[in-house]
Structure 1
């Protein structure tokens, strides 16, 4: 459903202004007892289709004994490589993040989002330079007035020093602890992904793939009309790698062979998602997948994403990323031009969102 006149658009903008000024997020709308989805959240009807697990199952990689020199190392490399090459999304078990940490992280993010709105309002901001910010909903694209059905607390763990007191007290200690575990896991994964490309283990680390990350605690209130809106629209992740912690309600879906497939939560597992920049530098060996998070009547639901990306200093340095030279040759020249992360995010990625194609298409030689 789309606005058909300037008056419709004005109404949407007024609704959005009122929504932002409330600083209460999507949860604030639900708390007043709505039975209809407000106009600013309505999209075309969402088809919640899926194929059965007997036709396709999301890859699961057991990282146990993945250290160099141990017997399963080659098997683990092969599992990660195959999943990254064929699907672009997989789950990992035996990742060495304690169950206690996973449980407490989800509980703490739920606790933050269920604070009184007056307390959360202190963190409410749409300023992308702010290191800790709470925001209600997200635009599906810069050109759109339609928003997604979720609230997020984002914590930039890498752009300059993040002082503990900047984090909300209710989730402060566990966010810092979980962030350290997630970074350690990302280093393991980047080493395995490097070896899967036939490179030295530290190759991707040397490209600063694990230097910076953002922690986003997402809260999805129950939706009265889930067929009209979406928690996170169809997209591909921009950066190198995402590590996602889900609760026990299935809502994440992968687009595989033109069908939406549920990514069922596995107790203790984490979802790993390949981003556009890893596809770019791996010369299309690894693929960035298309996925979404559907709205549901069940809830509230919680997830925590760790997005491994550039650090602030690299934006000013304008580092250019391009296909790794060791993966190209005269017979197989690079098919993508190099780009800085900032140019890609503000240019090609946005064009892709608007036109419904991967942003990498605009970088092809």
Structure 2
């Protein structure tokens, strides 16, 4: 595993050929960063649900502030995950696998598509079944650093509650019953990806992730210290300017499909 994790190396002097993408495969981006719509969830509910609906229809991406996820839970999540990736390779070896059927795993340099190019990131993926009241669930997560498990539990519980509230606001704005997406549609595991991007020796020729659509209902992204999120908008790619303390929200493919079916009926 030591040679497979990008974060295991102290520095990377040169970008290996397997990480180099041809120019036509690198999404172009506008020169200026763009601020996504910022929705203050502490405002009157009728205004918030209108803004959530409009942002979803216009772009599918927006940011939320005053969202109710405790700042301490966000900071603990960030710092404990940073500490995890700084651990010696032997402390992470039990979780490293290329087996995509494993619900909890650590992996690196994923290959997507037929070109064979690799993406410059390490990722810790954790499955979080709800409710989070099972010792077996918590014990399936890494046990180092010691504070990682309680940090994950507190963060995921608060973030999931925020996601469900955003879905309720969307339903209210669209004239649906507020609990439409509750139950089976949102009853699966919360899947948390902790993406780690080590310093890259040639970032202009590499990518951290491919252009993609999230397949789930809703994604909440807590931006880290490494910028780089790009969003497709009107035929262009725009660089997102994160707002401190905000979550970036992305309505996923399942939500798009369900909303299209509903509005066609």
**TM-score computed with the length of structure 2 as normaliser:** 0.90
Contact 1:23–1:136 (CA<8 Å) still a contact in 2?
A: no
Report the counterpart of residue 149 of structure 2 in structure 1. 172
Report the counterpart of residue 49 of structure 1 in structure 2. 29
Taking the TM superposition and a 5 Å limit, the aligned residue runs for 1:162-311 are 162-169=136-143, 170=145, 171-209=148-186, 211-283=188-260
Paired residues, what number? 257
Among 28, 35, 47, which residue is 2:13 paired with?
35
- TM-superposition CA deviations, 1:13-68 (whole Å, max 9, x none): xxxxxxxx54641113x42x432111221111346632536xx5311111115xxx
Among 127, 131, 141, which residue is 1:156 paired with?
127
Q: Could you tell me how far apart the structure 2 residues matched to 1:227 and 1:51 are?
A: 14
Q: Could you tell me how far apart the structure 2 residues matched to 1:159 and 1:198 are?
A: 28
Q: Could you tell me how far apart the structure 1 residues matched to 2:264 and 2:236 are?
A: 32
Taking the TM superposition and a 5 Å limit, the aligned residue runs for 1:316-355 are 323-324=261-262, 327-329=263-265
**For 1:278, what is the secondary structure of its paired residue?**
helix
Answer yes or no: is 1:114 the counterpart of 2:50. Answer: no
Q: Could you tell me how far apart the structure 2 residues matched to 1:62 and 1:273 are?
A: 16
Give the superposition deviation at 1:207: 4.9
User: Of the two structures, which has the highest relative contact order with CA contacts closer than 8 Å and spacing of 6 or more?
Assistant: 2
Cα distance, 1:123–1:207 mapped onto 2, change above 3 Å: closer
Cα distance, 1:42–1:242 mapped onto 2, change above 3 Å: same
Among 139, 155, 171, which residue is 2:111 paired with?
139
Q: Could you tell me how far apart the structure 2 residues matched to 1:228 and 1:248 are?
A: 20
Give the superposition deviation at 1:239: 1.3
Give the superposition deviation at 1:261: 1.4
Contact 1:247–1:265 (CA<8 Å) still a contact in 2?
A: no
Give the superposition deviation at 1:180: 0.5
Give the superposition deviation at 1:184: 0.7
What is the CA RMSD across the aligned residues, in angstroms?
Answer: 2.0
Greater than 6 Å deviation, 4+ residue runs: none
Q: Quick check: which has more Rg, 1 or 2? A: 1
Give the superposition deviation at 1:210: 5.1
Unaligned runs of 5+ in 1: 1-20, 66-71, 284-322, 330-365
